[in-house]
Amino acid sequence: ATPTALLVGTGRGAQLGILIKGPEVLESTRRVDTVVLDKTGTVTTGRMELVDVLLAPDQDRSEVLRLAGALEHSSEHPIAQAVARAALAAGKLPEVEDFGNVEGLGVQGIVDGHAVLVGRTQLLEEWSQHLPAELAHAKEHAEAEGSTAVAVGWDGQARAVLVVADTVKPTSTQAIKDLKALGLRPVLLTGDNEAVAQKVAAEVGIDEVIAEVLPAGKVDAVKKLQGEGRVVAMVGDGVNDAAALAQADLGLSMGTGTDVAIEASDLTLVRGDLRAAADAIRLARSTLRTIR
C-alpha cells in the first residue's frame, strides 16, 4: 500500500463524515467481517423519555419522581436524563450527597436523608430490596413491549419502576442493510435487558443479540468473537464502550458520543449516522483495491 493512495482514502473519508485516526486504520477496516453495535446512543437516538411510573403499594408518585429525579440529575446516562427532565418539570429537586455511579447497574446517593438507588433490579437486590410480585410483573410487561424499566428504592425498600422509551435512529435500518450487503455480520451488544434488545434488533434487522452484559462484559464479548476467528469492528458511543472499542480490531465511535469513546476508537462517524460505518468499510475496501 502506497502512503499517498491511503491518504487519498482518508481525505474521501472526511468528505463522508468519517474521521480516520491514521491511514494504517484502513488496512484493518478492510478485513472486518463482524460489526458489533452498542444499542443506546448508537443504534438508538439515546434520547429517552419517561413514559410511566409504576408504583409499589402505598407509594407516592411525586415523592418517587422527586427523589429518583434528584439522584439521576447527577448522572449523564440517557435514562437518567429522561428521569431528571421529567422530575424537574414537576418541581424543584433536592440536593444529593455521596452520589455514586455503579457501573452498568445504576446510581446511588443520599437524598433528603434517604439512601436512594435507581437502576437494574440486580442493583436493588444487592441491598435486599426486592420488587413486590405485581410490580415485577408490570416491569416485565413494559420490557416485553420494548421499553426500558429501572427500579427505584430507598431505605431498604423497593418503591417503584420508572419506564423510559428510546427510539431507533431513522438511519439505523438502512445502515444494517448496508452492512449486510457488504457481507458483514451485525451483532447487537447491550447492557440493557434481553426483551428490549430483541425488540430493537428485530426493528433494524439484526439477527444476533448479546444482552444484559456489564461494561466489562462488552470487552469479553468482543474477545470471544475474535477467539472464534472473526475480525471484529465495534461501534459505540459511551464511556462503557471504550474498552471494547480498544479491544476490537477496528473501533468506531459516534461523533455525538463521549470523548472517552472517541479517543478509544480508530475511526469516528462525525454525524453519529450509522450508515457511515458501512461507507467507511466500503471506502477502505475500494481504496486498497485501487492501490493493489
| 238 binds Mg ion, rule: CB under 5 A | yes
Bridging pattern class, strands 34-38 and 148-154: unpaired
Contacts (CB under 6 A) with ligand ADP, residues 71-130: 72, 75, 77, 79-80, 104-107, 118-120
Could you tell me the smallest distance in angstroms from the CB atom of residue 200 to ligand ADP?
A: 10
The β-bridge partners of 18 are 269
Task: Return d(Cα 244, Cα 238) in angstroms, integer.
Answer: 10
The C-alpha cell at 24 is 494504517
Could you tell me the smallest distance in angstroms from the CB atom of residue 221 to ligand ADP?
A: 11
Chosen from ligand ADP, Mg ion, none, partner binding at 190 (C-beta under 5 to 8 Å by type): ligand ADP
| 275 binds ligand ADP, rule: CB under 6 A | no
The β-bridge partners of 97 are 110
Chosen from Mg ion, ligand ADP, none, partner binding at 159 (C-beta under 5 to 8 Å by type): none
Nearer to Mg ion, 13 or 251 (CB): 251
Spatial contact of 268 and 253, defined as CB atoms under 8 Å apart? yes
DSSP code of 42? I
Number of neighbours of residue 141 by Cβ within 10 angstroms: 14
CA-based nearest residue to 215, from 232, 234, 195, 196:
234
| 38 binds ligand ADP, rule: CB under 6 A | yes
**Count, residues in the chain:** 292
Task: Return d(Cα 98, Cα 83) in angstroms, integer.
Answer: 19
* Per-residue mark of binding to ligand ADP, 192-231 (x: CB under 6 A): x----------------------x----------------
| 169 binds ligand ADP, rule: CB under 6 A | no
| Annotated catalytic residue 192 | no
Q: Cell match 421499553: residue?
A: 147
Span near ligand ADP by CB under 6 A; candidates 25-33, 69-77, 219-227, 249-257: 69-77
Task: Return d(Cα 12, Cα 280) in angstroms, integer.
Answer: 10
Bridging pattern class, strands 185-189 and 208-210: parallel
Span near ligand ADP by CB under 6 A; candidates 37-45, 54-62, 247-255, 277-285: 37-45
Nearer to ligand ADP, 204 or 284 (CB): 204
Kindly list the residues in this chain that would bind ligand ADP in the complex (CB under 6 A).
38-40, 72, 75, 77, 79-80, 104-107, 118-120, 148, 150, 190-192, 215, 238, 240
Kindly list the residues in this chain that would bind Mg ion in the complex (CB under 5 A).
38, 40-41, 237-238
